[in-house]
Structure 1
């Protein structure tokens, strides 16, 4: 109760002698300092709004415009062509000089605002130019050279995180004829002649009848929507989860509470940078071209609320606490005190209190998180349970504490990592644990959850509806680097800093879980456990070569890996499949992702030639064509000329109109048996991997999309390493994520390749293909 009394600033009692007023100066001081912090944040937001509002100009540029106008007037010249005089007639000032001065300042302000709008329009036109992506390396046109110079000139002001948002172009709606043509080209290698003819007839029929009608509605939506895909995608996107792992070879500290202290601090420092817009805007690697930063807005203080029809993302402006789960109990941990962020040592101290708390879980509390992990394609049970049992009383207060928290933290009771007698198996178990845990010890509705294991290993589990993998990777990269290289630890593994011993204990959340809810929890857990047990994960770091040696062959590393995966699938299953590769559309405002259909006619031609034992020169030519085709498909997806998001939005429009399309229904039901994604690394370059080679991360992964398919996530680390995350389902007898013979095959191939004097791109592909073929 001591903490409750401290929270009361004053209290009074009425006595026969009068009113007895008692003030708590400590509580008043806490209130004052919290208020100061709140006002500082408001002033900072207002300042940032002004700076963003005038970008690509600066607020100080108004002064130059005003001085210039006044100087020309002093020289008996009227730069306004009579407008200053007209403004002067409507000013209620008596003094002639005052009227002249004020009217000149009003004109200067209007001229300044007009110039800003003109500059912003020019910048939007510049950012709408995408031809530079399709030019060959070393053969840049004069138009692109001039364009690069102008973009750099417009970006000379130091932009804030969201400065470019209003200058980014809107995502264009492709012509339906072009989308259908590209779709038919993408499925040609997957279909027999009769099947392809049938699909061509369906596409032609759709274009001539329903397609053009749906296209008109979609164009109308694109006129008033910021992004015609993002609003629909966010509403209809079913929750998927992405995991990010810790350092592969290094654990900064074995003390669980200490690792939690530094990790939570690093995340909150990142949030501070986001709120203050101190992060540099993300750009296309190697260029000055900005990417949309809208996904950062809902990174923290965000949860996905279940609904009967669709889920809804809820975001709160700020949160001064995190939610913590440990051994079946939920806690509310305040990370600010009197407007001050707690030190890492203080957060460690508070985490240790939670770890030492001997209290047992309340009835129904331990597995309550299973409500968020059931089959989210059927969200009605969780939505109805939430509305009926969590809309009032202690349950609502406790649920609000979780949903309004900055993020969710799980203090896991297990050890994870690659250390031990079975490093390969340990890595697989580590990845699988981060993906779903026990299915009830994460709150999967939160934007992301941090997992701190008993031995100090950590990881992140993110929900994908609010953002995509590059945004999460950016956050996690900053967190790992700040934890290890800036905050650091003492020699005995504890966080640095001092501890305020008067900190209140973490608040234990109280629940009143009736038997009906406990029954629903058990049902959701059974569904989630069945899904989780079916997932087969395999993680392996590939260190024999990386993008450095691939680039020497003058081949795109991404194309190299994508074609390798297709050959691996061909050798594994004896055919080709629809292949999904995630690409971003963040060149446009509120851009999310687009699909690169990596399985092309060119890649299939190369694989068939390779398997048929064609001449090496012919295989090299076909490989070059396949690589160039893949790069072109990726560029088209990035520049708004993709296939799948356009068809998806046409399908959604047809549902709103209550019409059916056999073509769209069949297209959207096609399974992605090979779903792939590359996780970017070193987006912030906070440390040098050459000087710290042990501080490499495994990257992230996800589960398979199709029941009989693979999910492959890969991260290209530095010049000499590629990390792979492969997932499949145990229930499918045709897919296996890990195949022990692959490691023996790898060793054998290495010995063979070392005997070759001249390494060619053909041999490199043989090497990686052979390694993958046993998957």
Structure 2
């Protein structure tokens, strides 16, 4: 996904040193500080969770236990078996003037100790229960007796109403795989991309690594895995995201759209008003922990740590690295609005008690901005380009407008309806506009940019360092459902309710641009606009079938699509490539993502069979089953922390910290991911009804390509009969074309479905073969024959 590009291009510069003499600096220092940060963060979150009642045994249970102990003493019962009397006798006799004080104090201490022991017991039991992974190996739709018993115990020990953070303290730590297992899986993943000679040379290099550098690197990494909550996530966020100097535009940020073909209202201010209200209300629910916990496949609770930085968060640029700046909810009661290069501060709370303004009043405020004819001031119109250009520290001389933007809950971008660019239809142009804008129409440093067009359509641009796609997608689904089915709109398209004439217009932010910033702004603008023009997006709504059909084929939907993508890419480029597929590891504490490598030996055999006219459909179907089973095996390994890429990433990082260069890890880092893929999640299918409201289903989102000569592909299953693909590539690349690749994907999906008797017939197969030959010929004519890809020259990735 988008992080695939970030991981492929990250560089670590720690200076030079003598191998072996810097074991403590900076290697052990980095491991030690990572552990301290982890424990400090864990203790702070534990305190917050207890106060908010997010733990299975919250403050209410503690008060109940205290009242029960005191009541039993009043009834001359002793549930403590003499402990309270012993503690009473041990307390200093300093309260003779207050009868019963010592007894009450002893009972309070006993109740507190009992409640703490209960809390720790619940956490330990939950942590042991959540280590169970047997359900992943069971067929979908059937649960064994051990799994049913496990689910029942998890529900019992989770309390009556688990909240978003109930499981947070009980999630197990990410396991550290063995280096031998990781290297073996890596070699298996690159086997179909290498010649026999290249593979033999890489295998020899891998064996040398296992016997020389690996033991020392693994030992230090094992120390971190024991000391910190997660041995990957903090380094992943720091070195892949925050230390990257690449532009966020088209490289890191990603987008999510609303619906494919409808808008609940054509009024821009009304759509924005309902969306802002729903998002701010979701923020309040997050603060109270009232959001339903996210689960994996409806069974396994997932880590919720990323939700804490969803709102009020900004990525602050620095010289060598960025940092995340987060404001507490109570100190951020406004949003920043960007319209025609002008910035406004819109207060979201007001009136008695400082309550959240109604959607109709928010619409009224936004309409003030749309109706304001004042132009942008000099240099102000293009100021946001500084967040889109390559990362560098800017002048932060206590400017009030900058503080307002960085302290806002999120940014609203009020846009004109995107017009067609070249041959791009409106849907494609809307996706491209939400992702990159004009280069100066998004504040890319902000965690969330809500983009609302004049047509009433909208989308979300998300900064990637604070979270991965499932977290903002979870929020976005809740916002769309609340906006359409709960808040609704009046018959004239306005938000329901009445305007409030006592509420003043939003405050216009007036910038004073320092001279050095004004001088660098034109260069930043040119770079941002060039990147924006070079990004191409295409949305393919595949309506022939969806998850319902793949379920009848007894094949996981992701495996079906991934094999179709391998077939499509082979037809488009005439060869195979290293493929990146994102997979969540949030079943572990502070987990983020892992990489699945779906271009396997089995997948390549299936693709070649599809292109071999001598084979029958029965033979192709057999190979498809084998390849799909292999893909699901890789999914299970990634979900359980037994993937390849994050372990190799950390080993490489440790080797750099130790000044212990490894030729094998350097070779791994040289890989290029020419196909980066991801499945957009749907956490809350109960919020939408595709059968009765087929148009009102979130159509997912996408991201830029991980390689300048490659594709980025995201897909989402919309109900039972539709899969929507989001495809991106670089306009400047002579090898790629997002619409051509979309046609190959559609043909590949139909051809694979024909193996199961969907009835596409030989015509689709013939058309696919003809298009494949045309695609191969055009690509080869433009760049010559494609060599076998090998991990031999610099790169690596994810989203």
Q: TM-score range by the shorter chain?
A: 0.7 to 0.9
CA drift of 1:716 comes to 0.5
* Secondary structure, counterpart of 1:60 in structure 2: helix
Asked if the contact 1:331–1:509 (Cα under 8 Å) also holds between the matched residues in 2, the reply is: yes
Aligned equivalents of 1:286, 1:771: Cα separation in 2: 43
Aligned to 1:278: 290
Q: 2:397 aligns with which of 391, 394, 398?
A: 391
Match of 1:674 in 2: 675
Counterpart in the other structure of 1:236: 239
**2:337 is equivalent to residue 334 of structure 1:** no
Cα deviation, 1:9-60, whole Å, max 9, x if unaligned, reads xxxxxxxxxxxxxxxxxxxxxxxxxxxxxxxxxxxx9996335465257733
* Separation in 1, partners of 2:767, 2:154: 40
Look up the match of 1:712: 713
Asked if structure 2 preserves the Cα contact closer than 8 Å seen for 1:704 and 1:711, the reply is yes
Q: Which residue of structure 2 lines up, in the alignment, with residue 699 of structure 1? A: 700
1:366-417 per-residue CA deviation (whole Å, 9 max, x = no partner) reads 0010000013xxx23xx1xx23xx313xxx1111111111101111123469
**Alignment partner of 2:60: what SS?**
coil
Q: CA deviation at 1:67?
A: 3.4
Q: Give per-residue Cα distances to partners, 1:695-722, cap 9 Å, x unaligned.
A: 1232101111011111000010110000
- Per-residue displacement from partner, 1:392-447 (whole Å, max 9, x unpaired)? 3xxx11111111111011111234699xx98x721111111111010101100000
Moved more, 737-746 or 335-344: 737-746
2:319 to 282, 289, 308: 308
Preserved CA contact (<8 Å) 2:677 2:712? yes
Pair 1:488–1:75, CA change in 2 (3 A): closer
1:294 aligns with 2:309: no
Taking the TM superposition and a 5 Å limit, the aligned residue runs for 1:194-209 are 194-209=197-212
* Partner in structure 1 of residue 226 of structure 2: 223
Shift of 1:232: 0.8
Residues 1:558 and 1:734: Cα distance change in structure 2 (over 3 Å): same
Which residues of 2 match residues 81-160 of structure 1 at below 5 A? 84-92=85-93, 93-94=95-96, 99-100=102-103, 102-137=105-140, 140-160=143-163
**Deviation at residue 525 of structure 1 after TM alignment:** 1.7
Deviations 1:187-215 (A, max 9, x none): 11111111111111221222222222121
Indicate which of 170, 180, 183 corresponds to 1:180. 183
Which runs of structure 2 are paired with 1:540-551 in the superposition (5 Å)? 540-551=540-551
- Match of 2:723, SS state, is strand
Once the two structures are superposed, residues 309-364 of structure 1 have per-residue CA deviations (whole angstroms, 9 ceiling, x without a partner) of 11111110021111111111111111111412111111111111111212221111
| Range that drifts further, 557-566 or 508-517 | 508-517
Counterpart-to-counterpart distance in 1, 2:632 and 2:737: 29
- Whole-angstrom CA distance in 2 between matches of 1:345 and 1:532: 34
User: Once structures 1 and 2 are overlaid, which stretch shifts more, 616-625 or 191-200?
Assistant: 616-625
Report the equivalent of 1:363.
378
Q: Is the 8 A contact 2:540 2:725 kept in 1?
A: yes
Residue equivalent to 1:453 = 453
Task: Tell me if the contact between 1:434 and 1:451 (Cα under 8 Å) persists in the aligned partners.
Answer: yes
Aligned equivalents of 1:507 and 1:219: distance in 2? 53
Per-residue deviation, 1:150: 1.3
CA distance 1:71–1:604, shift in 2 (3 Å): same
1:346 aligns with 2:357: no
Q: 1:166: how far off? A: 0.6
Cα pair distance change 1:649/1:769, threshold 3 Å: farther
Aligned to 2:22: none
Contact kept? 2:545, 2:722, Cα under 8 Å: yes
Q: After superposition, where does 1:483-562 map in structure 2 within 5 Å?
A: 483-562=483-562
CA contact (8 A) 1:84 1:107 kept: no
Pair 1:215–1:489, CA change in 2 (3 A): same
**Structure 1 position 231, deviation (Å):** 0.8
Deviation at 1:112, TM superposition (A): 2.6
Q: How far is the alpha carbon of 1:76 from its aligned partner?
A: 7.2
Shift of 1:768: 12
**1:304–1:314 Cα contact (<8 Å) kept:** yes
Q: Which runs of 5+ in 2 are unaligned?
A: 1-45, 242-247, 776-799
| Alpha-carbon contact 1:568-1:769 (below 8 Å) kept | no
RCO comparison, higher one (Cα < 8 Å, 6+): 2
| Range with bigger deviation, 499-508 or 363-372 | 499-508
CA contact under 8 A between 1:449 and 1:460: conserved in structure 2? yes
8 Å CA contact 1:619, 1:762 repeated in 2:
no
Deviation track 1:465-502 (CA, whole Å, cap 9, x = no partner) reads: 11111111111111211111111122111112222212
Residue of structure 2 equivalent to 1:730: 731
Matched residue SS, 2:712: strand
Q: Relative to structure 1, is the Cα distance of residues 514 and 61 closer, same or farther in structure 2, using a 3 angstrom cutoff?
A: closer
Which range is displaced more, 659-668 or 67-76?
A: 67-76
Greater mean alpha carbon deviation, residues 311-320 or residues 476-485:
476-485
- The 2-side partners of 1:107 and 1:537 are apart by 63
Closer/same/farther in 2, CA of residues 283 and 538 from structure 1, 3 Å limit: same
Which residue is 2:328 aligned to?
317
Alignment counterpart, residue 191 of structure 1, candidates 186, 190, 194 = 194
Q: Note closer, same or farther for the CA distance 1:671–1:98 as it changes in structure 2 (3 Å cut).
A: same
| 1:475 matches 2:475 | yes
Structure 1 residues 687 and 166, CA gap change in structure 2 (3 angstroms): same
How far residue 252 of structure 1 moved from its aligned partner, in angstroms, is 1.3
8 Å Cα contact 1:73-1:79 kept in structure 2:
no
Query: Which residue pairs with 2:784 in the alignment?
Result: none
Corresponding residue for residue 25 of structure 1 = none
Report which of the two structures shows the higher radius of gyration computed on alpha carbons: 1
**Match of 1:292, SS?**
coil
CA 1:667–1:106: 2 relative to 1, 3 Å = same
- Rounded to whole Å, the distance in 1 between the matches of 2:667 and 2:176 is 22
Q: CA offset at residue 684 of structure 1?
A: 5.5
- The runs of 5 or more residues in structure 1 that have no matched partner are 1-44
- Provide the aligned C-alpha RMSD in A: 3.2
Show the counterpart of 2:257: 245
Q: Alpha-carbon deviations, 1:92-121, whole Å to 9, x = none? A: 344886544542442233123212211210
Q: Does residue 255 in structure 1 map to residue 267 in structure 2?
A: yes
Secondary structure of the structure 1 residue equivalent to 2:619: helix
Mapping 1:437-452, distance limit 5 Å? 437-452=437-452
Give TM-score scaled by structure 2 length: 0.83
Cα pair 1:450 1:461 within 8 Å, conserved: yes
Contact preservation (8 Å) 1:596, 1:633: yes
